[in-house]
A and B are shown apart, each in its own frame.
Chain A
């Protein structure tokens, strides 16, 4: 669902050490299933609370509460699964089935055809067609090898991932290690690019990087340039970095802030230099976050769609472009087949990451974060100046990649052929004042976006926490379950849209009862399903790192599993919860395809839909609405972070 606009989405990171298959540290005696039973017998056998001084009524109410709480986990878990099945897996299955059932008969011929088609798989298609691996390998090494659309899509996603990490890491370094005025606000706003519809990014990038744009003008002043990046792979990769570097930055910042200062101090006292201490102590705690954001970036950019054709060219078309066209043409078998191929590749990447994460050693969350350094150099020594010089260079790059395009969006919203104008905003006001019921109006769109966002957050947060709890238990294949639970991040947004139409809007017959689900509740549920994986990814690693004795002690003292989760575990992983909340909210705000299909009328439309609908033969009004989205979401992110208690670190 998130995929509809671009690949964006993201999630915080961290590691998710675990005690499964061959991991190094076992003493985790992970017996959640068992311990639950144990505690049941314990509490059922009478409250283990001190003495009979407790009044009967109180005891009864407590035991009732205990009973409710004990069931809560199971009930919430079942609800989460039901939501996922109803709002995601089932609808998507109504489309995917077309790839394997053609004219009523089960077949794999659709996949065989796609795999053997050099247009999609390039030289590899010959391998699938049964040619000798040696000759294929030989041709793959030749300079005029064919990648095929799938190969090219992976290639551009890999480049985009590298660019996003390269741009995101320095930002994480600055945000985690330095103190300066506005740091917290800046960190809250890093998530902003994430929610921008591709039309806005296209407007901003074309204006910023165009022949007559400010960047070429500036380069011209110093006798450089011009750069002609638009409509090439460079523009696509840069736009992908614009969307996803913030993800890398935010997740890595979180990991960096939870590095324990005393571990570094110990290393230093044992004689390690700063470089050694960084490589041995700090870096290993950052790898999982960096790799997770890289894996997510790859997945999002692998499924990229509108931005490729807005800033690139059809010669750079990706898989999703063809999924879109095939669905337009109602060629469902091939569309579904291609979307499944896309999904398998994305999930493999996520699965590989989860396996890696599981092998990481558990590191205790820092009780005391590393102290931040002032951004203003304390002295004029090389040691103080050099890193800050590097930061200045990075800041200049960040201004070009992030700020100039956003500033260009603002500028586009107040200009037209005749110069500066407020006409585009006047249109918004007029539409608000005089629009008909079947038209999209700005204020309801803003209100809906915020309401759906808040409601989706209220659902996604417990759902993500529950799934995180369930997937951090120890059982065979749980990484597979974990990967499948991430599927909402990796299924083609176009397929999800069609699936929702078929599975929910048209209804399903269960027995003789026909159930159709549309409207606000359905929209919120769809948003929650799209956003919850971020909560899982930000919460699960923290849960897994917790000392299991904490939980066991709480349980031994009679706390139900839910009570222990709420009172002991969640407070300890709170920064992850807040980060996940921000991303879940962002996904909801940016969501387009599910909303537009599930809405029962224009009065349920959100800001991204308003932007799309306000595209006429001039882009001004849509851009003005885009700026409204920019402002509304900026404020929301700052508020979420403040409410979440930023002081806690994330």
Chain B
């Protein structure tokens, strides 16, 4: 990758940068940025970097750190006496959404235990943003990502020739992660929580069916709302659950029957849940932690019943992973270890309204009572999804939306 330095223009944000400033004009288009090591390219605050510009970098200092990890060197300790900054990418709901955003708390806790600053970054396109950056020859601009799904990891590996994420390495507490949740065969992504997706129903209106087949009964005509698998994690999980249940050869037939029984497939989770809340249908695909919110709003819990079809819930573990061009890999590992600590695990789960990923997490009894775990969690592994998930979704789209 071409090294570049971002200089200038704070307020307006017009960033002009000069490529090839320190003598690597055209030569190092490819690869490992090996000639970037000489001038401490990964350092913090090396804004000048040969351009003679006096302005401060607007981008994070990690911007010019495409070097480093590839060379196997451990650059993590280059704090030079300054407090180091850990830049963590995530999805916006982790930071912003009312009632499900542990980001702020996590930052405070981490900074109070470690002599470092945590900088959150929530690009609109989530992981795709970092894939785009890599495709464009930019560095990732961050040290790690929090909130990675298995299907996103599959996409990352499909699209990029060079690794976006690095093997996590030695992270404290890693052994405590529940075996069923680890979804990365290459050991890059470490799960930190999981959700279970299943229908939520209004028990005052219906008694939900026990099985997937039951959803096809005339009795439940028009009763289920789910979401577009391309636009919503819950919709995708539900579709994958049907593939898991009926096999790649049978799920389309099941969906044909489901469509005949007037299932509604709306766009986002909020579209679907909003319609369900207004009583447009008695069942909606959502999270098995639904009662936690209901109790928080003094709602009638009878209206927020959970049904694990065939006693199963589809697990959607969220992972964290280190970018391969991270400036602060050690700090990132420290953060991952921090997140896996029992009391932090319990707190993240409750704040994110999910379940912890480790087997020794500390959950409050109240929470445990309202958040339901399925008797049999199911999910697809990385290997099973690789090369298949796109096709499954596309085949489903082409059947469901045929005009």
Point out the residue from B278, B280, B403 that lies within 8 Å of A152, measured CB to CB.
Answer: B403
Contact string against B for A residues 182-212, beta-carbon threshold 8 Å, 1 for contact and 0 otherwise: 0000000000000000010011001100111
Whether the Cβ atoms of B270 and A619 lie closer than 8 Å is yes
Whether the Cβ atoms of B100 and A617 lie closer than 8 Å is yes
- A202 → chain B closest CB, angstroms: 6
Residues of A within 8 A of B124 (CB): 497, 593, 596-597
Whether the Cβ atoms of B13 and A519 lie closer than 8 Å is yes
B297 in contact (CB, < 8 A): yes
Residues of A within 8 A of B376 (CB): none
Interface residues on B, range: 35 or more
Residues of A within 8 A of B185 (CB): none
Whether the Cβ atoms of A614 and B97 lie closer than 8 Å is yes
Whether the Cβ atoms of B16 and A206 lie closer than 8 Å is no
Point out the residue from A313, A515, A600, A621 that lies within 8 Å of B58, measured CB to CB.
Answer: A600
B98 in contact (CB, < 8 A): yes
CA distance A329 to B264 in the complex (A): 23
Whether the Cβ atoms of A519 and B99 lie closer than 8 Å is no
Residues of A within 8 A of B104 (CB): 436, 439
A29 in contact (CB, < 8 A): no
Whether the Cβ atoms of A520 and B274 lie closer than 8 Å is no
Point out the residue from B15, B270, B397 that lies within 8 Å of A516, measured CB to CB.
Answer: B15
Contact string against A for B residues 211-250, beta-carbon threshold 8 Å, 1 for contact and 0 otherwise: 0000000000000000010110000000000000000000
Given A210-B278, A314-B401, residue A417 in contact with residue B298 (CB < 8 A)? yes
Residues of A within 8 A of B174 (CB): none
Whether the Cβ atoms of B228 and A328 lie closer than 8 Å is no
A473 in contact (CB, < 8 A): no
Residues of B within 8 A of A315 (CB): 259, 265, 400-401
Point out the residue from B96, B398, B401, B402 that lies within 8 Å of A613, measured CB to CB.
Answer: B96
Nearest-neighbor residue (CB-CB) of A418 within chain B: B298
- A358 → chain B closest CB, angstroms: 35
Residues of B within 8 A of A522 (CB): 13-14
Given A206-B274, A210-B280, A507-B17, residue A618 in contact with residue B231 (CB < 8 A)? no
Nearest-neighbor residue (CB-CB) of B6 within chain A: A516
Residues of A within 8 A of B122 (CB): 438
Nearest-neighbor residue (CB-CB) of B93 within chain A: A616
Whether the Cβ atoms of A520 and B13 lie closer than 8 Å is yes
Interface positions of B from 40 to 87, Cβ below 8 Å from A: 58
17 other A-B residue contacts (CB within 8 Å) besides A122-B403, A617-B273, A618-B297: A119-B398, A231-B275, A315-B400, A316-B401, A317-B397, A416-B299, A417-B294, A427-B98, A438-B95, A502-B136, A507-B15, A522-B13, A615-B97, A616-B97, A619-B274, A621-B98, A622-B270
- A123 → chain B closest CB, angstroms: 11
Whether the Cβ atoms of B120 and A438 lie closer than 8 Å is yes
Whether the Cβ atoms of A207 and B120 lie closer than 8 Å is no
CA distance A315 to B279 in the complex (A): 21
Whether the Cβ atoms of A417 and B11 lie closer than 8 Å is no
30 contacts between A and B (CB under 8 A): A122-B403, A146-B402, A199-B270, A210-B279, A210-B280, A211-B279, A231-B275, A309-B268, A313-B265, A324-B231, A325-B230, A325-B231, A330-B128, A330-B159, A418-B297, A418-B298, A427-B98, A438-B103, A506-B138, A513-B17, A515-B16, A517-B13, A518-B14, A520-B12, A521-B14, A522-B13, A613-B93, A613-B96, A616-B99, A617-B287
Whether the Cβ atoms of A518 and B15 lie closer than 8 Å is yes
Segment touching A, from B18-26, B317-325, B334-342, B379-387: B18-26
Interface centre among B97, B101, B103, B129 (most CB of A within 10 A): B97
Nearest-neighbor residue (CB-CB) of B122 within chain A: A438
Residues of B within 8 A of A207 (CB): 278
B388 in contact (CB, < 8 A): no
Interface positions of B from 101 to 123, Cβ below 8 Å from A: 101, 103-104, 107, 119-120, 122
B188 in contact (CB, < 8 A): no
Interface centre among A148, A211, A509, A618 (most CB of B within 10 A): A618
CA distance A497 to B128 in the complex (A): 13
Point out the residue from B58, B92, B107, B231 that lies within 8 Å of A309, measured CB to CB.
Answer: B231
B178 in contact (CB, < 8 A): no
Nearest-neighbor residue (CB-CB) of A328 within chain B: B230
Interface positions of A from 289 to 310, Cβ below 8 Å from B: 306, 308-310
Whether the Cβ atoms of B97 and A206 lie closer than 8 Å is no
A147 in contact (CB, < 8 A): yes
Residues of B within 8 A of A616 (CB): 93, 97-101
Binding site for B on A (CB under 8 A): 119, 122, 146-149, 151-152, 199, 202-203, 206-207, 210-213, 230-231, 306, 308-310, 313-317, 321-322, 324-325, 328-330, 416-418, 427, 431, 436, 438-440, 497-498, 501-502, 506-507, 509, 512-522, 593, 596-598, 600, 602, 613-619, 621-622
- B389 → chain A closest CB, angstroms: 9
CA distance A596 to B353 in the complex (A): 26
CA distance A597 to B122 in the complex (A): 11
CA distance A322 to B18 in the complex (A): 38
CA distance A342 to B369 in the complex (A): 51
Given A325-B397, A616-B99, residue A231 in contact with residue B298 (CB < 8 A)? no
Whether the Cβ atoms of A417 and B300 lie closer than 8 Å is yes
Residues of A within 8 A of B132 (CB): 498, 501-502, 506
Residues of B within 8 A of A596 (CB): 124
Residues of B within 8 A of A613 (CB): 92-93, 96-97
CA distance A147 to B400 in the complex (A): 14
Nearest-neighbor residue (CB-CB) of A507 within chain B: B17
- B318 → chain A closest CB, angstroms: 15
CA distance A264 to B122 in the complex (A): 61
Residues of A within 8 A of B37 (CB): none
B266 in contact (CB, < 8 A): yes
Contact string against A for B residues 181-192, beta-carbon threshold 8 Å, 1 for contact and 0 otherwise: 000000000000
Point out the residue from A152, A516, A614 that lies within 8 Å of B16, measured CB to CB.
Answer: A516
CA distance A51 to B138 in the complex (A): 66
CA distance A324 to B229 in the complex (A): 12
B267 in contact (CB, < 8 A): yes
CA distance A152 to B401 in the complex (A): 10
B359 in contact (CB, < 8 A): no
Residues of B within 8 A of A152 (CB): 403
Whether the Cβ atoms of A514 and B4 lie closer than 8 Å is yes
Residues of B within 8 A of A309 (CB): 228, 231, 265-268, 271
Given A206-B274, A329-B155, residue A514 in contact with residue B11 (CB < 8 A)? no
CA distance A230 to B266 in the complex (A): 11
B168 in contact (CB, < 8 A): no
Residues of B within 8 A of A308 (CB): 267
CA distance A202 to B276 in the complex (A): 12
Nearest-neighbor residue (CB-CB) of B293 within chain A: A617
Nearest-neighbor residue (CB-CB) of A612 within chain B: B92
Pairs A-B, 6 closest by C-beta atoms: A519-B13, A309-B267, A417-B299, A314-B265, A616-B97, A325-B230
Whether the Cβ atoms of A521 and B155 lie closer than 8 Å is no
Point out the residue from B16, B97, B98, B353 that lies within 8 Å of A514, measured CB to CB.
Answer: B16
Residues of A within 8 A of B353 (CB): 617
Interface centre among B12, B228, B270 (most CB of A within 10 A): B270
CA distance A283 to B92 in the complex (A): 51
CA distance A314 to B9 in the complex (A): 45
Residues of A within 8 A of B271 (CB): 202, 309-310
- B24 → chain A closest CB, angstroms: 11
Interface positions of B from 346 to 374, Cβ below 8 Å from A: 353
Residues of B within 8 A of A418 (CB): 297-299
CA distance A97 to B308 in the complex (A): 47
B390 in contact (CB, < 8 A): yes
Nearest-neighbor residue (CB-CB) of B101 within chain A: A616
Interface centre among A231, A314, A324, A622 (most CB of B within 10 A): A314
